Amino acid sequence: MKIVVLDGYATNPGDLSWDGLAGFGKLAVYDRTPAELTVERAAGAEALITNKVFIGAAEMAALPDLAYIGIQATGVNVVDLDAARQHRIAVANVPAYSTASVAQHVFALLLELVRGVGWHNERVRQGAWSNCPYFAFQDTPQIELADKVFGIVGFGDIGQATAKIAAAFGMRVLVHTRSPDPQAFPEIDYVGLDQLLTEADVISLSCPLTAETERLINAERLARMKASAYLINTGRGLLVDEAELAEALHKGEIAGAGLDVLSQEPPPSDNPLLDAPNCFITPHLAWATRAARQRLIDELAANLNAFLVGESRNRVD
């Protein structure tokens, strides 16, 4: 069979192998594919692998050999699933491959906010410690996480992994979710969103982006947070109203924000958060540890193998 990876660079910039997929047939891998070249590059393919390249009804109609689409991500909005069903094209995604990596990154952002490791490293290199009359030097408030309140919005795999890390730091964990499970997590306090916003010292967004959660964090909800609170977003950029968050940071209405996602990626140079104070932004790399990317490639191969032998594995069609 012919297999085409339309945009493989983010998953594998060259440090991993596509051999797991190549074992199923003739494999072509493109680092990136612009929309206008999708059909040309996918022509004759029975299996397509996509990350951000949209496969809609028009593409499916133009690709009569296509039988399978593998999404090299958890989110499925890059494929028109209704059209896939009409064309009898199987679609599978890869859930939970990056759970540990994203949860780890939540705390990488938080620790930078409360301890300023990177900031102080730069200050040391600039000579601030060398010119300090004391043996210890600090340029930002140093905040201990023990006994602070860690609030999580959304409690899927990543939210649950994050909760375990917060508990290990000695933090009390509050969760706002549509599906509380007190029996499975008796140590978790399930609360409404308003209570979480007002009580939490840290708020971490782990919920999916839906019509209900778009711009969930806006001026009204930011105003309910403690002035000493931090916002962490490793979910989706549109969970936050960026202009209103930037304004809150400029006014000191909250203490800071750590963001791995923005509403437009890469961001335009006029994104208001790029010059907001105490706002640390990483370029959508929470998921991208080598271990997570290897799991992603392994799962893509396992999903395709399941399809070829007539089994249903991670199917979303």
288 sits in the region (left: phi over 0; alpha: psi -120 to 50; else beta) called alpha
Q: What is the mean pLDDT of the chain?
A: 96
- Verify that 30 and 171 share a domain, yes or no: no
Q: How many CB atoms lie within 10 A of CB 118?
A: 12
**Average pLDDT estimate for 113-137:** 95
pLDDT class of 88 with cuts at 50, 70, 90 = very high
pLDDT class of 243 with cuts at 50, 70, 90 = very high
pLDDT class of 184 with cuts at 50, 70, 90 = confident
In a domain? residue 317: no
- Verify that 77 and 105 share a domain, yes or no: no
pLDDT class of 72 with cuts at 50, 70, 90 = very high
Identify any residues that bridge with 280 across adjacent strands, giving them in sequence order.
258
Annotated catalytic residue within 172, 176, 221, 236: 236
Separation of first and last alpha carbons in the chain: 21
- Verify that 214 and 246 share a domain, yes or no: yes
pLDDT tens digits, one per residue of 187-208: 899 999 999 999 999 999 999 9
Does the annotation count 87 as an active-site position? no
- Verify that 81 and 205 share a domain, yes or no: no
Question: Does residue 244 carry a pLDDT above 90?
Answer: yes
Does the annotation count 236 as an active-site position? yes
pLDDT at 264: 96
In a domain? residue 52: yes
Report the distance separating Cα 45 and Cα 1, nearest Å: 7
pLDDT class of 183 with cuts at 50, 70, 90 = confident
- Residues with Cβ within 8 Å of 280's Cβ and at least 6 positions away in sequence, in order, are 109, 112, 113, 256, 257, 258, 259
- Verify that 7 and 114 share a domain, yes or no: no
Total number of domains constituting the chain: 2
- Verify that 129 and 254 share a domain, yes or no: yes
In a domain? residue 314: no
In a domain? residue 246: yes
**Average pLDDT estimate for 147-152:** 98
In a domain? residue 313: no
**Average pLDDT estimate for 222-238:** 97
- Verify that 103 and 89 share a domain, yes or no: no
| CA-to-CA dists, residue 57 to 53, 141, 188, angstroms | 13, 54, 44
- Verify that 80 and 118 share a domain, yes or no: no
In a domain? residue 120: yes
Question: Does residue 182 carry a pLDDT above 90?
Answer: no
- Verify that 166 and 234 share a domain, yes or no: yes
Annotated catalytic residue within 87, 120, 224, 284: 284
pTM (predicted TM-score): 0.92
Give the domain CATH number at 219.
3.40.50.720
pLDDT at 75: 87
Token digits for 294? 């290897």
- Verify that 62 and 180 share a domain, yes or no: no
Q: What is the percent of the chain with per-residue pLDDT over 70, rounded to a whole number?
A: 100
Q: What is the percent of the chain with per-residue pLDDT over 90, rounded to a whole number?
A: 96
Q: Domain containing 150: what range?
A: 99-281
Annotated catalytic residue within 122, 144, 220, 265: 265
Does the annotation count 40 as an active-site position? no
- Verify that 58 and 112 share a domain, yes or no: no
In a domain? residue 235: yes
In a domain? residue 65: yes
DSSP 185: -
- Verify that 221 and 74 share a domain, yes or no: no
pLDDT class of 181 with cuts at 50, 70, 90 = confident
